[in-house]
Each structure stands twice: as structure tokens, then as C-alpha cells.
């Protein structure tokens, strides 16, 4: 192994591997799947963006406190390597093991999610409260802290998830200090040659199946308007 990679590998060994059961993968298999992306490949195709820290805000007053900084988006990236999409979301604070901010009324779930549009014609329409622009996504891939009954079978705690053509499934999630890291195969996204994407953070008081326009509380967007593109067009 390249000596420059050793500190990174040691750092990941100290990461918080979130418990889950999906597709029969073992913890060792998940760790290998995450680590393989670290060894940079000349075939890697990456798209990334940054977002201003401290720009998070609830669209209306509901809770008795400020938006938790561990869903304040700072940086996001998506990379394709050897048929696997690797997603990272960096936030404005170290991510706590207990992500529940203890609000009143209580938070049901909160987290940060990639919205991916591979085909505008078949994408689902999203109209978020307080956001002028409508969005269209075929897939949602992200990290969520479940504080109550999620309504979709996710146990309490930090979870990785994917919602798309095959329904809702749990996927591997690694937390490294201030960064959420998760992966899914290119095949699971339909092997796209390109797609539009947005990252958004939410802090919701109700279970997922009963979310409405006003109970799906989006507190941060990156980019702030419009979409990013994967892969980045070459000049």
C-alpha cells in the first residue's frame, strides 16, 4: 500500500461504522467496499461543490432551538470508481453518535441526502416548503438519524438509505468525524452516463410516509439553487 494512504486507512479504522443488515454484507465486506475508493484510480470521475457554513435555517418556527450544525452542509462530492458511486457530505460540526437535538416538539428524523435526477421525464416532483424552485429526482441517497418510528422499517440511530426504482433500502454508512460516507453501485442507479444532483438537509417532526410539503423541513441546499452535474463537463 502506498505509504501516503496509511494514515487515511488508520483514520477510517477509527471511524464509526453504523450497524445495519442489507443484502447479506458483513462488516468486513462493508469496510473493504469503503476503503477501495481511497486508493485513487485514474478511472475515477468526480463532481463536487462547497456551501457556506452557517446558512442553515428552518423555513418556519416549529422547534425550540436552532438547526443542528451536523446537518449544515459545507461540502459534497460524488465519484464513480470501478462501477461504484461514492458519496461524501461534509458538515459544519463533528457528527454525534446521538443525532437527536432534543427539540420540542420532538424530531422524528434528520439528515442529509443526495437527490439524483437521471431522467427528467420519469423523475418524481418535489416542491419543498419555502423553496421557490421545484425539483425532480429519480433517486434519493443519503444519511439519516432516526429518533422515532421512521415508518419505513429503519431502526433508531444513524442509517444510510436509498430510495428509487426498487423501493426503499438500507445501505452502508460510515461516519468520519464531520463527514457522512456511503456508496451504491452504478447499476442501482441505472448505470447513468450523467445526472443532475442536489444535496439537501432535513429535520422532520413526522415519520417518512406521512411527510407533507410543510412537515418535510428542508434547512439547507447545495447548490443553493438549481442542480450540480455529474460528471463535470470538460472545457
Using DSSP, state whether 26 is helix, strand or coil.
coil
Band (pLDDT 50/70/90 cuts) for residue 18 is very low
Extended strands (E) in the chain: 16-17, 45-50, 73-81, 84-91, 109-117, 124-126, 135-137, 139-146, 157-164, 167-171, 173-176, 179-185, 195-204, 218-222, 228-230
For residue 62, CA distances in Å to 126, 145, 165, 207, 211 come to 21, 19, 33, 16, 15
Average pLDDT over residues 172-187: 97
The yes-or-no verdict on residue 46 having pLDDT over 80 is yes
Give the span between the Cα atoms of 210 and 152, in whole angstroms. 11
Give the span between the Cα atoms of 120 and 204, in whole angstroms. 27
Chain centre to alpha carbon of residue 205? 19
pTM given for the model: 0.80
Q: Is 215 left (phi over 0), alpha (psi -120 to 50) or beta?
A: alpha
- Residue given cell 447548490 in the structure block: 223
The yes-or-no verdict on residue 212 having pLDDT over 80 is no
Residue-wise pLDDT for 68-123, tens only, equals 999 999 999 999 999 999 999 999 999 999 999 999 999 999 999 999 999 999 99
The yes-or-no verdict on residue 187 having pLDDT over 50 is yes
- Residue given cell 413526522 in the structure block: 206
Residue-wise pLDDT for 77-90, tens only, equals 999 999 999 999 99
Chain centre to alpha carbon of residue 100? 17
Q: Which residues of 44-80 are buried (b: 16+ CB within 10 A; e: fewer)?
A: eeebebebeeebbeeeeebbeeebbbbbbbbbbbbbb
What are the structural domain ranges in the chain? 3-230
Give the span between the Cα atoms of 145 and 169, in whole angstroms. 15
Please report, to the nearest 10 degrees, the dihedral formed by the alpha carbons of residues 59, 123, 188, 17 taken in order: 0
Query: Which residue has better confidence, 153 or 50?
Result: 50
CATH number of 3-230: 2.60.40
Residues 6+ apart with CB under 8 A from 50: 74, 75, 222
Amino acid at each position: 500500500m502506498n505509504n501516503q494512504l496509511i494514515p487515511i486507512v488508520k483514520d477510517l479504522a477509527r471511524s464509526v461504522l453504523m450497524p445495519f443488515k442489507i443484502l447479506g454484507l458483513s462488516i468486513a465486506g462493508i469496510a473493504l467496499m469503503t476503503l477501495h475508493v481511497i486508493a485513487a484510480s485514474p478511472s475515477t470521475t468526480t463532481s463536487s461543490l462547497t456551501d457556506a457554513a452557517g446558512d442553515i435555517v428552518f423555513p418556519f418556527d416549529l422547534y425550540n432551538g436552532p438547526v443542528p450544525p451536523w446537518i449544515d452542509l459545507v461540502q459534497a462530492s460524488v465519484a464513480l470508481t470501478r462501477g461504484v458511486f461514492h458519496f461524501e457530505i461534509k458538515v459544519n460540526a463533528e457528527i454525534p453518535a446521538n443525532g437527536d437535538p432534543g427539540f420540542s416538539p420532538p424530531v422524528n428524523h434528520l439528515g442529509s441526502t443526495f437527490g439524483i435526477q437521471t431522467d427528467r421525464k420519469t423523475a418524481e416532483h418535489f416542491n419543498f416548503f419555502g423553496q421557490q424552485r421545484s425539483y425532480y429526482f429519480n433517486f434519493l441517497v443519503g444519511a439519516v438519524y432516526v429518533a422515532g418510528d421512521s415508518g419505513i422499517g429503519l431502526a433508531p440511530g444513524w442509517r444510510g438509505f436509498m430510495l428509487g426504482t426498487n423501493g426503499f433500502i438500507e445501505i452502508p454508512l460510515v461516519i468520519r468525524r464531520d463527514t457522512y460516507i456511503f456508496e451504491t453501485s452504478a447499476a442501482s442507479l441505472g448505470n447513468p452516463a450523467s445526472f443532475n444532483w442536489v444535496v439537501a438537509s432535513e429535520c422532520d417532526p413526522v415519520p417518512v410516509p406521512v411527510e407533507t410539503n410543510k412537515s418535510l423541513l428542508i434547512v439547507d441546499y447545495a447548490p443553493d439553487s438549481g442542480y450540480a452535474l455529474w460528471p463535470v463537463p470538460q472545457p
